[in-house]
Structures are given as C-alpha cells and as structure tokens.
Amino acid sequence: YENQITFTVNLPASIIEARFDDVLTFLSPEYNGGYTFTAYQWYANGVAIEGATGSWYYNTAMDKDAEITVSATMEDGTTVWVCPFTFNSASRPDAVEEVRDGQQATKLLRDGRLIIRYNGHEYDVLGRMAKP
C-alpha cells in the first residue's frame, strides 16, 4: 500500500525581528541559522504588499493587526515561506526602543535603504551604525 503525502515546511517567524517599533527585518545569516536570501515578497493578510520586496519592511499603521508573512528565495532558487505572525507578536531585541530619554528616532530613506537617526547618530535596520 502506497500513499503520497504533500506538506509545506515554513521557516519560523523568529527569523524576523521587529526594530524601532515599526520595521520588520530578516536576521542576517550569522543569526538566522546560515540562510542567505536573494529575493523577498512581504504579504499582509495573504495579499502581496506592493513594493515590499526587500529584506526589511517598514510597517504602516494599517498593518499593525494584519497577519504578516514573507516568501523568501534562497541562493539556490528555492522559495520558502515564513510562518504567519502579527507585527505585535514579532520578536523584538531587548536593546531597541522607539523612544529613549525623551528623544524620538527619525526614519528616512537614503539610496533605497532605511536609515534610523537617533541622538545625532544614524543606524541601519539591524541597529548597526550607518556609514556617513
């Protein structure tokens, strides 16, 4: 007796972190189990988010309660999915906060990259100091 079974394996949502209160970003290969991705498409409630094709997504107020997922393509061309999650259930690093000491972080795009300006310094979405 033979029976064919088809199933889908998704990456855990913990491969993504919420940063600066409204940015979702993939962890780098050093922190995500060694995965390197070459393409992304972010989804809210099962619908592709137009233009959201980078390793990070700037979450808008409209998406706060949406079920978010991502299809990500690996170097070998295999496309995998991340388990669905809500923005509020995304993992958050302890050291990153929107407001510290009464100062607000400012977000801006430079050459297509999201930069966070805080306390006179600029950081990328992973919290690393950005080059001037």
The confidence score (pLDDT) of residue 40 equals 94
Distance (Å, whole) CA 94 – CA 87 = 16
Mean pLDDT of 113-128: 69
Cβ(73)–Cβ(38) below 8 Å: yes
Taking CA atoms, 36 is separated from 50, 54, 77, in Å, by: 23, 13, 11
Nearest to 52 by CA among 71, 66, 65: 71
Q: What confidence tens digit (pLDDT) does each residue in 66-118 have? A: 888 999 999 999 999 998 888 776 766 554 444 455 556 666 666 666 677 77
The confidence score (pLDDT) of residue 48 equals 93
3-state secondary structure 27-57: CCCCCCCCCCEEEEEEEECCEECCCCCCCEE
Is residue 38 predicted with pLDDT exceeding 60? yes
Mean pLDDT of 23-32: 81
